[in-house]
Every structure is written in C-alpha cells, then in structure tokens.
Structure 1
Amino acid sequence: MARPKSDDKHNALLLAAEQVFAKRGLAAAPTSAISKQAGVAEGTLFTYFRTKDELVNALYRSIKLDLADALMTRFPRTGPLRDRLEHLWNAFVDWGVANPQRLNVLDQLSVADMVSEESKAVGYEPFAEIEALAQHNIDSSVLHAYPVAFIAASMKSMAETTMAFMSAYPQEAGQYRETGFKVFWNGIARNADS
C-alpha cells in the first residue's frame, strides 16, 4: 500500500521550486535542484508531481490564488471606482513588496509555455470581477476607452515601479504608494478629479 502524501512535503516542494526559479530562472532549474532545496530525494518530487510541467502549473496556481486572496478578500464591491481601484492598488503593491520572490516567479510563470491554458483560466478566474468592473466603467465613460488588457498591463508596470521605490525607500513607502496610484489613476480616468 502506498504511503499517503504529506501536505508538508507538497508545500516544501512548491516553496523550493519558487526559490530555485527565483535564483536560476525557470529554464535553468533542474528538478534535482528543487529536490535538493526541499531536502527530499528527487524521486520524492515525482511522487507529488509527475513532471516538471505539473510542478510549474501547481506553483503558478498557488501564487495566483495567493495574490487573489490578497487583493480580493476585502475588496469593496460598492463605492466610487477610484476608491475600489485604490484598494486593489494598495493590496497589490503591499503584496509585491512583502513577496518580491513570489512576484519575480509569477512574472516568469506568466510567460512560460509550460503553464497550461487550464491553469491560466484557474489563475484568471478570481480576477474576472476586476476586468468586468473596468469594462463597465469604460463603457460608462468613467475610464478612457483603452483596452482592459492595456489598463491592467499599465497598472502592473506602474505598480512594479512603485514597489521598487517602496522597497528602496521604506520610510517613504506610503508616499510612493499614494503617488504611484495617482499617476496610474490620472492616466486612465476621463475626469481624474472624480
């Protein structure tokens, strides 16, 4: 009879993969290095994940769901759009500053061919509400008529710049978080004062 799988080992392998991918990059990270980082035999890794692709997809889902939890747990579903987007902004930059390794690895995984369409769909699902909110406000002429994907990419880029400044100047982190959001908001809102 096979031994039951341990959640601790499963989680240790995901964390080890995250650490190794952050240091070496996804393509240059052999499963042997991940096993070694996790403190298990390489065969143990394949007990939990049949292939490196399966491990990559599990890690992608784990990080996306962690990010979704940070952004959406206290997301205000009513109120002015600016306040709602500022909540998302603050949650994202705070998560990124607290989890730079996870953000680095998520950036790598987001463009990796190994991440399946199914995993991308699972990772996207918690954020569908934000896309719908943005599209509604574009249609209502609150936001400029930019593609939602462009707005999301602009937010990510500006947020990552903000995170870099928050990390480099921690005593001024609040000021950079606020300034970064203002720059983002002014770029997408038709009437930035609303």
Structure 2
Amino acid sequence: MRLDILNHGYSPATKLLFALIRLVSGHPVPDAARLVFYRPDFYGARAKEFTHETMRGPSAWSVGDRELMAAYVSKVNGSAFCVAAHTATAQRAYQDGPMVAAVLADLESAPVEEPLRATLRMLGKLTVEGKLSAEEMREVLSAGVSREQVEDALAVCVAFNTTARLGDAFDFEVLSPEGFEAGAKYLLKRGYR
C-alpha cells in the first residue's frame, strides 16, 4: 500500500529540492530517494552513507559488478523498481546490456567469470533462505572469491534486500525507461549520496 507520506511528507526545503531535480532532470524524484529524505535522522542519512560506501567505496568488485549484484538480489526479491533501477545502472557501468540481461535471465549460462557467478549464486541463496552453510561458503571461496570480496558482496546483499523490501512495502512507483536511464547516469556520476 502506497503511503501518502511519500508524496507529501516533506519540509518546504525538501519539496523545493524535489521540484528543482524534476526541472533539471525532466523526471520525478524516484521513490527510493524520496524515502531517504523522509525522516533522514531515522533511516535516510544512515542508509545513504551505508549504500554509498557499499556501492562506491574501495572494493575488488567493480562498480558494474556491485550494480549487477544489486539487480540480481532485487530480481530474487521480485522488486520491479529495484530490478529496473540497478539493471539500467549495471548496463551503463559495464557498457554491456546483453551480458547484464543474460545474468538476470539465467545465471548459470550467462557469460560471466566463475567468481562473480559463484558470488551471485551465494547472494541469491542467502536472499531466499537467509542462511548459508560452511560448505557453501567454501565453494564461493574456492571459485576464487577473496574473503574481502565476500564481505563486500554481503554488504550489497544487505543494502538491496533492505531497499527491495522497503520498495515493495511502500509500493515504489516504477519509472519510465527514460527515468531509470536518468537515474543510472546520476548513480554512476554521483553515487548514493
């Protein structure tokens, strides 16, 4: 159920910012951004900081890899908004739309290296079941994924399991393809701040 607060629950300064963003970009502010501006002291500021560090901070995973992880976790969750947003961003980051589409269509036959495939498999299982066995973690490590990469991937999993569930709970509006493209440009240029 979409809460009216996502449409109207902001200070005058925030409403002015949203109007400016719409004027400059030609697109409405996505609901994910609207949510972080609502009660920033409770959720928004911390969520932006954690997500930005997770997605743009130092990592052996590329920005494209992490955006693909976000899209994959969102697909497993069935979150239309998050799938579209992070698919567009991953495609733009990789400059390879067909590869991103192939991963989301069928991970096992997609043209990606085994460390990334094993990591996505791990994130999918963790998203569905909420747990991993020691043997499953050993399989990921034996695929050539470092412990640091596992930690970074788990941070992506936390960020986008949270965002996808909030998106569904608050009934985030799915943007037009042009809106998601504009968002992808922004995310690649500025990150999640």
**TM-score, normalised with respect to structure 2:** 0.30
**TM-score, normalised with respect to structure 1:** 0.30
User: Quick one: higher RCO (CA 8 Å, sep 6+), 1 or 2?
Assistant: 2
